[in-house]
Homo-oligomer: A and B are copies of this chain.
Amino acid sequence: MNEAALKLIARHGYEAVSMRQLAAEIGLQQAALYRYIPSKQDMLFALLHEHMVALLASCQEQVEASPPRRLYSFINHHVRFHLARRDATHVSNMELRSLDADKRVVILDLRTRYEEKLRAILRDGVSSGAFDLGGLDGEVELTARAIIQMLTGVVVWFRETDRLPVEAVSRIYSNMALRIVGAKTAIREETACIATA
- Chain A positions within 8 Å of B, measured between CB atoms, are 13, 15-16, 94, 97-98, 134, 136, 139, 142-143, 145-154, 157, 164, 169, 172-173, 175-176, 179-180, 182, 186
Note all chain B residues with C-beta closer than 8 A to A173: 146
The answer to whether A97 touches B13 (Cβ under 8 A) is yes
Give the secondary structure class of A's interface: helix
Identical chains bound together, number: 2
Note all chain B residues with C-beta closer than 8 A to A147: 150
Smallest beta-carbon distance A21→chain B, Å: 14
A-B contact pairs, 24 of them (CB 8 A): A13-B15, A13-B97, A15-B15, A15-B16, A94-B94, A94-B97, A134-B175, A134-B179, A136-B172, A136-B175, A139-B172, A142-B169, A143-B176, A145-B157, A146-B153, A147-B150, A149-B149, A149-B150, A149-B152, A149-B153, A149-B154, A150-B150, A179-B180, A179-B182
Note all chain B residues with C-beta closer than 8 A to A139: 172
The answer to whether A176 touches B15 (Cβ under 8 A) is no
